[in-house]
Structure 1
Amino acid sequence: MIVKTASEGLRPSSPPRARHAFVTLVTNGDYALGARALARSLRLTDTMAEIVVLHTGGVDISALEPLTDFGCRLIETELLPLSDDFNARHARRNVHEKAPFAKGRKPAFHSPLDNFCKLRLWQLTEYDRCVFIDADALVLHNIDKLFRYPEFSAAPNVYESLADFHRLNSGVFVAEPSLSTFERMLVALDAPEAFWPRTDQTFLQQFFPDWHGLPVTMNMLQYVWFNLPALWDWRSIGVLHYQYEKPWEQGHPRAHILHPLIELWHAYFTGENIPDIATLENPARAGTPS
């Protein structure tokens, strides 16, 4: 498919107001909750960038209304124009059967096909540079410096061992919108028999094999808290990413060990009792099991 205009498949609620944008993706009501906490956390950093929320048809408009309190620019997005064969290969059941998540648990609302909508960021050519952040994340201090990083920059997928440094995590990345890049992505994505076991993450690593590394502190995965506590330093963390189990879930399997992180997310979600991040206790000193 040839994308004729930057707006094809996108319906923005308002015109852009800045040259740079933090972009997130909301695919259901659960991630709308996450986006509210993320948007508040970004606003508290006094960022000069716009906050853009891409949202699919699976989200009720009432779930998105609270985001307007944070000045978010809402952009409704269609699923990518991919083949029926591609969609069948990447349905939730097929992805999780062929590439099961062995290290953590993806919640029931996880929809692999929706993840590819992240790639519509490259259609946002009204911005010079974008930083994508998953909606299950918080920004803990100003990270506007990321707009000076090149395309394609991402942090390594480190949460279990240092051997993970060779893989990227697509929960945070820096990109330069371009229709030509987006068109090339669609062709590569929907190649005959192509299968992306970790959806957009696997694809982006192959599409950008020479990706630039961001510090792990710009995408600190929550499992580092108990797997690699020596890496954790609250004062240096720019983005805290709640991979696998989500902080808004009730009583998830690791809620007991991640309790301090879950409490922090709820503080940002409600706007009440948000702590001074520099005063929080690191896991190694708190005696968290490794």
Structure 2
Amino acid sequence: MPSCALQGHSRRPQHGRGPPGFKHRFLVGLILAFGCLLAVTGASSDDESSSSKEKKVAIVTLVTTSTYIPGALVLAESLQAVKAKGDRVLLWVGPEDDPRSDMTPDRIAELKEYWDETRQLTKADGSYTECQISEQHKTLIQENPTLKGLDRYWGTCSKFAVWGLVDYDVVVYMDADSVALHNFDFVFDYLDTGEAHFAAHGVPECWDTNPPQFLECNFYTAFFVIKPLPHVQSYFHQLASKQYLAEGEITLLNQVIQQWKPLPRFTLVAQTEAVRPMADDGKTMDWSQAKVYDFAGNPDTKPWMSHALAKQYHDPNWHAYFGSMVPGTEGYNRYMVPQKIWNDYYDKVLAKKEKKQKATKEEL
């Protein structure tokens, strides 16, 4: 059995979720009581060889409010376009378990048209995990404009439920505000070698050194790969119930998971980071290298906001944060290229919806 890979210090994410003054208690005693989390930090004796059977795989997302429904629909549309393999599973939280959710049967029905399966997370079965926030943090968020939208992370700790999807051998989790740019099927075999049961994309600071020092930096949680193990879900669920996580699940995952396998660079690109994939000339951005784009940022910068404003201003090059952008400029290539891709997918989604509504009216 490998030795514990847990550390007693906080490994803060580097991509700007929350104020630098927020501190989180790391429950060393509780962690030691649970042991080394062998399933996360090392190989399990129950593993089967990847060649012994065909893997059953899934791509999973999470929706806690209707705000993210456009994102989930586009994500599914983009996965279809890049021919990503795996079942499409959407996890959601209902208002009966948390009043901050506004999910309704009609909204779930719309999502079912794009996702193979929708699973409700509940308190009753322990699959719903709330990110707790202190009254002090609530006050700080309300009084500080720069922290606008931070309170939306209340439901992201339910990402832990992916470890409970034991029907699958490998699961890829993707945030609902991300879009698939190119096929990434290679990640389903990525954990076949080595001892790690968790793969993710390091933050830009990981590549500040040559070679990269992944043990010294953090990872994103907008896109990650796991082998489902139910006791890991239970472990994170119990940890989250004992501490405040104002920044969402990312803090706890980076604190606990010390042995992780870094995904190749540009498997994920985040909107909020400055780094973009570049061509060999070092001057031209090369989006063909990127597999997934995450529209990280505050609520005002989400892709559905840019799409709505583009329609409102009759300007296809409108970005919610930057305003009208000029094609061919660095800013356009950096931010509008993935936004335009998202817009095109959402236009297709809306066209399908309109066609269905028209057909329904004709039947009546």
The TM-score bracket by the shorter chain reads: 0.7 to 0.9
Scaled by the length of structure 2, what TM-score is found? 0.59
Q: Does 1:93 align with 2:138?
A: yes
Q: Does 1:124 align with 2:165?
A: yes
CA deviation map 1:190-219 (0-9, x unaligned): 33xx33342211111112112211123121
Cα 1:44/1:92, change in 2 over 3 Å = farther
2:204 is aligned, of 158, 165, 170, to 158
Match in the other structure for 2:270 = 221
1:212 is aligned, of 252, 261, 274, to 261
Long gaps (5+) in structure 1: 1-17, 273-290
User: What RMSD, in angstroms, separates the aligned Cα atoms of the two structures?
Assistant: 3.3
Q: Does 1:72 align with 2:128?
A: no
Contact 1:171 1:241 in 2 (8 A): yes
Q: 1:136-155 residue pairs with structure 2 within 5 A? A: 136-150=177-191, 151-155=197-201
Quote the Cα distance in structure 1 between the aligned partners of 2:175 and 2:158. 12
Quote the Cα distance in structure 2 between the aligned partners of 1:77 and 1:260. 35
Contact 2:198 2:225 in 1 (8 A): yes
1:93 Cα deviation after fit: 2.4
Contact 2:277 2:290 in 1 (8 A): no
2:248 is aligned, of 177, 193, 199, to 199
1:219 aligned partner, one-letter code: L
Q: Does 1:179 align with 2:230?
A: yes
1:156 aligned partner, one-letter code: G
Secondary structure, counterpart of 1:87 in structure 2: coil
1:63 Cα deviation after fit: 2.4
Match in the other structure for 2:88 = 51
Match in the other structure for 2:153 = 112
1:246 is aligned, of 276, 297, 302, to 302
Q: 1:209-288 residue pairs with structure 2 within 5 A? A: 209-224=258-273, 227-229=274-276, 231=278, 232-244=285-297, 245-249=301-305, 250-251=308-309, 252-256=320-324, 257=331, 258-271=335-348
CA deviation map 1:162-215 (0-9, x unaligned): 489712110000111111111222233333xx3334221111111211221112
Contact 2:128 2:161 in 1 (8 A): no
2:62 aligned partner, one-letter code: L
CA deviation map 1:40-98 (0-9, x unaligned): 000112223001000111222322333333342111112558999x7342897268479
Secondary structure, counterpart of 1:271 in structure 2: helix
Long gaps (5+) in structure 2: 1-54, 95-100, 192-196, 279-284, 310-319, 325-330, 350-364
Cα 1:90/1:22, change in 2 over 3 Å = farther
Quote the Cα distance in structure 2 between the aligned partners of 1:56 and 1:174. 22
User: Which moved further from structure 2: 180-189 or 136-145?
Assistant: 180-189
Cα 1:158/1:106, change in 2 over 3 Å = farther
1:152 Cα deviation after fit: 0.9
Contact 1:217 1:236 in 2 (8 A): yes
1:253 Cα deviation after fit: 2.7
User: Which moved further from structure 2: 230-239 or 250-259?
Assistant: 250-259
Quote the Cα distance in structure 2 between the aligned partners of 1:136 and 1:113. 16
Cα 1:142/1:230, change in 2 over 3 Å = closer
Match in the other structure for 1:38 = 75
Contact 2:270 2:296 in 1 (8 A): yes
Scaled by the length of structure 1, what TM-score is found? 0.73
Quote the Cα distance in structure 1 between the aligned partners of 2:207 and 2:116. 36
1:159 Cα deviation after fit: 8.8
1:24 Cα deviation after fit: 0.2
User: Which moved further from structure 2: 67-76 or 130-139?
Assistant: 67-76
Contact 1:39 1:67 in 2 (8 A): no
Quote the Cα distance in structure 2 between the aligned partners of 1:34 and 1:56. 16
Secondary structure, counterpart of 1:153 in structure 2: strand
Q: Which has the larger radius of gyration?
A: 2
Secondary structure, counterpart of 2:186 in structure 1: helix
2:340 aligned partner, one-letter code: E
Cα 1:42/1:81, change in 2 over 3 Å = closer
Secondary structure, counterpart of 1:112 in structure 2: helix
1:248 aligned partner, one-letter code: W
Match in the other structure for 2:63 = 26
Number of matched pairs: 246
Cα 1:34/1:159, change in 2 over 3 Å = farther
Q: Does 1:135 align with 2:188?
A: no
Cα 1:160/1:130, change in 2 over 3 Å = closer
Q: Percent identity?
A: 22
Contact 2:71 2:177 in 1 (8 A): yes
